[in-house]
Amino acid sequence: MINELKREGILLFNKGKNKTSFQAINEKKKKINIKKIGHSGTLDSNATGLLVVGLGKSTKLLKYFIHKSKSYSAQIYFGLQTETDDSAGLVINRYNGFIDLKNIKNELKKFKGKIQQIPPDYSSIHVNGVRSYKLALKKIKPDLKARTVEIYNYKIISFKYPVLTVNINCSSGTYIRSLARDLGTFTGYFAYLFSLKRTKIDFFNIKKSYTIDEISHGDYKIISPFNACKDFIPIEIKEEFIEKLKNGVPVSENWFKKKQNIKKDNDLLYKIHFRKNLLAILKYNNGNFIYDLVY
């Protein structure tokens, strides 16, 4: 069981295969006996790897991690295309010729940077109020629009015919299934995503995550709310102004402890704390600090 001192913060969870993110989180919720839990960034049922999980009040912080960059280790199988663009679907196209790694490398280069990508038919995106996969299951072709995503970097790890293993760092919203499908189309070989593991979300790393078994046995550490907001500018507040802050009273810089070199920028977020206990997230706008979240 999770103890009272561990009811808030961020827990890095290593999701197993054949469970949706919701199922995996719900299982963990029961294991650690906590009422409020949520995650940032869904993984497909067949995918494994990192989920950033908020516990208790820290579910409020998840909105700051949803749009962060993601890193994956992907295996792409060439020579076949499936209806789901992964190993779960029926084969709909085959290529029986030679698969040339040089051709794959040349075509993969075209995906680096900002690209237009159409999500898989079997996805959770809403199409006229209906989940895309529900239409696909009824053999109705979903009208999915192309979206701008970005592949920041990739690194080919190996090619064991006909499977390419590649590490990918990309923007939030990128479908690696679509990348596999489109790479298969560009090369003329057809392809689907054979396996996928998410290894990073921003600075959160799978190396510091925990499986459901480890969590069940209490073998895990939780990242404090203050430390989870790693890139936010810290500002410590004087103790006598904590209640005003919690009550949403307009912020005065007189509340801040002295001798803090605070960089003021409209594009930055500020974590307000007392002795590294997170109290609020502020923005800076038109010369004033304004609330974004009261913790």
Model confidence at 217: pLDDT above 90:
no
Exactly one of 44, 85, 121, 182 is catalytic; which is it? 44
Separation of first and last alpha carbons in the chain? 25
Q: What is the mean pLDDT of residues 226-248?
A: 97
Residues 6+ apart with CB under 8 A from 86: 44, 46, 177, 180, 192, 193, 194, 196
Written as six digits, the tokens of 158 are: 């190996």
Residues 6+ apart with CB under 8 A from 13: 24, 25, 28, 39, 50, 51, 52, 53, 209, 210, 212, 215
Residue 1: the pLDDT is 35
Residue 129: the pLDDT is 92
Residue 5: the pLDDT is 43
Q: What is the mean pLDDT of residues 261-266?
A: 93
DSSP 3-state of 36: coil
Q: Is 289 or 31 the better-scoring residue by pLDDT?
A: 289
Establish whether 44 is a catalytic residue. Answer: yes
Burial class, 125, CB count within 10 angstroms (exposed 0-12 / middle 13-18 / buried 19+): middle
pLDDT tens profile 171-188 = 999 999 999 999 999 999
Give the model's confidence band at 2: pLDDT under 50 very low, under 70 low, under 90 confident, else very high: very low
Rg (CA), the chain: 22
Distance from C-alpha of 140 to C-alpha of 132, rounded to nearest angstrom: 9
Distance from C-alpha of 221 to C-alpha of 280, rounded to nearest angstrom: 23
- Look over the chain and give the mean of its residue pLDDT values, rounded to a whole number: 93
CB 19 within 8 A of CB 50: no
Rounded to two decimals, the pTM is 0.91
Model confidence at 109: pLDDT above 60:
yes
Residue 20: the pLDDT is 73
pLDDT tens profile 44-60 = 889 999 999 999 999 99
Give the model's confidence band at 29: pLDDT under 50 very low, under 70 low, under 90 confident, else very high: low
Written as six digits, the tokens of 92 are: 């709909």
Residue 41: the pLDDT is 79
- Domains, the chain, in order of start with CATH, read 4-68+203-226 (3.30.2350.10), 70-201 (3.30.2350.10), 232-294 (2.30.130.10)
